[in-house]
A and B are shown apart, each in its own frame.
Chain A
Amino acid sequence: MGVFTSKQQATSVFTTLFGILLDDERFASTVRKENLSVQFFHSDPDLTVYVSADGVWIDETPSAPVISIKMSCDNADALWSGRLLMPIALATRKIRIKGSVAKVIEFVPLLQPAFDRYPSIAAQAGVGAGA
């Protein structure tokens, strides 16, 4: 079994995580100004997370995302926890991204609040407890 014991647990963690990002003024205003949207395609458990300035959608695609990111839930956990470095994850194709590279370069630094908050959100939700 992976670090997430159920799809429900993963859904709750990622909804909270991206909700926090949308509360971050810099993230929200840049995403709105640049009309950015990103969709994560997670596996094990399978779910998609769509984030735009208007909110977070699970397993729904309100419109075609500007950036698509594919990774397993285990790799997402390792990434947000800081155990998996983005360059290494990309080198080993643990993470794959489609969309304008220029937009991605602009987008990645905006994610810092998610890196800061993920460990406590995950711990609170009991992520990894069953692994």
Chain B
Amino acid sequence: MMHMAQLAAPSATDAPTLTTLPAETLALRDTVRAWANERLAPHVRRLDEDDAAAFDWDLVREGHNLGLTRLVVPKQFGGLGQGEFGVAVALEELAAIDAGFALIFGATMLGQAPVLLSGDPRLQARFLPLFCGDEPVLACNAITEDQAGCDLLIPENAQFAQGVMRARREGDHYVLDGSKKFITNGKVATYATVFANMEGHPGATGLTCFVVMLDRPGVTLGDVADKMSYRSCLGTEMHFDHVIVPEENVVGGEGGGVYINVQQMNMARAAVAAISTGVARGALEQAIEWAGKRVQGGMPLRKHQFTARKLAEMSAKVDAARMLYLRAAHLADNEIPAPAYEPAVAKLFADRIAIEVATEAMGLMGARGYLRDHGMEKRLRDALGARIYEGTPEVLALAVTEAIYDDDDDF
């Protein structure tokens, strides 16, 4: 049974809170907040209503200039050298305005993560400087497939995964065949980290991660998914037909994909929890503003006790979600392998409260909450998105209970 000490919050000295963020993180938060409010916010409705395949490279370029495409790239390659902590804080700011834009940069980091986690200096020197030039470069992380969804996110179920993309070694290279689905940035990325199963291994038990440049012969991109929200980022099918990948592009060795996948998932869950927290915060702030000025029954809504109770509950939920993701991100920056419990708990909670807070906030705005004009209904649609990627509630529950019953010692 997991020791209770692991369930308790770390001591005050090693668990920074939003009031004690390191100066560097505070500066990053304020920069991203200012950009999101001043530059991104005016475009949110257009980004939401545009054609599914529309993509705003100009805004992405502005984000790139802020460093959002190279947050986790080590300083030696020209990046900002941030850990999950800084990433999560930045993504909350973006998601408070538009979750889709947060995911453009988040998915790029997911494409960078395997290269970072490989610990392979040659791979790092080849791929990470790409993100540090004058023009924005995006990456993507391709796991999900038509038949294999959650089975690729639950390590114990890897053996049951069906129809997984195949990899075959031929001399000094590998040949990839198969398709991926719903891949964020697939349409606009320069490379993908692609997870394929080595031939001869059942299910996904031989999962191996490859860096695949997307201009390779045999790579074709399908239509962009017509999503309910998150429309500013593009989710795409990707087809790999006899794509030849040099052996130097294997990340973490043959069969190492299971580790890379689990490790990056545990790191990313803190960041996705931050996205959900941001969506909830955006809805809360809008509700606070509305309830402060909308008068019914002779006084502002906020003075009505029922409304006050709702606002207080919403506020407590957002604060709690933030504390959970900060704890998870902090631990993910200080343990290898990253812990499974704290990030899963943070995401499980934040995904749920984002939906609850956005629903309440919409209700507080009455009919206006239901209209596109005010943007609240879009926040609710955003809130429903993060519940799917990087672990559904069911997948997270399995990760949480696996950790609770884990009999690991207390190292």
Chain A interface residues toward B at CB < 8 A: 41, 68, 70, 85-88, 90-93, 96-102, 104-106, 108-109
Contacts and interface: CB of A to CB of B under 8 A. Distances in A.
A88 B119 contact: no
Interface of B is mostly: loop
Interface stretch (B40-48, B305-313, B331-339, B367-375): B331-339
A87 B116 CA distance: 12
Contacts of B260: 87
B334 A100 contact: yes
A99 B83 CA distance: 12
Contact of B336 (A85, A92, A101, A109): A101
Interface string B249-279: 0001101101110110000000000000000
A93 B335 contact: no
Given A87-B117, A98-B335, A105-B74, A70 B411 contact: yes
Contacts of A106: 74
B262 A91 contact: yes
Which size bracket describes the interface of B in this complex? 20 to 34
Contacts of B289: none
B408 interface: yes
Nearest to A99: B334
A104 B336 contact: yes
A102 B263 contact: no
B366 interface: no
B263 A85 contact: no
A88 B259 contact: yes
Contacts of B116: 105
A101 B116 CA distance: 10
A89 to B, nearest CB: 8
Given A85-B252, A102-B74, A106-B74, A91 B337 contact: yes
B222 interface: no
Contacts of A101: 83, 332-336, 338
Contact of A87 (B81, B118, B411): B118
The interface centre, meaning the residue of A85, A91, A102 with most chain B CB atoms within 10 A of its CB, is A91
B333 A102 contact: yes
Given A87-B260, A91-B256, A102 B83 contact: yes
Contacts of B262: 91
B121 interface: yes
Interface in B96-148: 116-119, 121
B118 to A, nearest CB: 7
B207 to A, nearest CB: 10
The interface centre, meaning the residue of B81, B333, B334 with most chain A CB atoms within 10 A of its CB, is B334
A108 B118 CA distance: 10
Nearest to B209: A87
A106 B337 CA distance: 16
Contacts of A90: 259, 263, 336-337
A110 to B, nearest CB: 9
B408 A93 contact: yes
Nearest to B261: A91
A97 B411 CA distance: 9
A99 B14 CA distance: 11
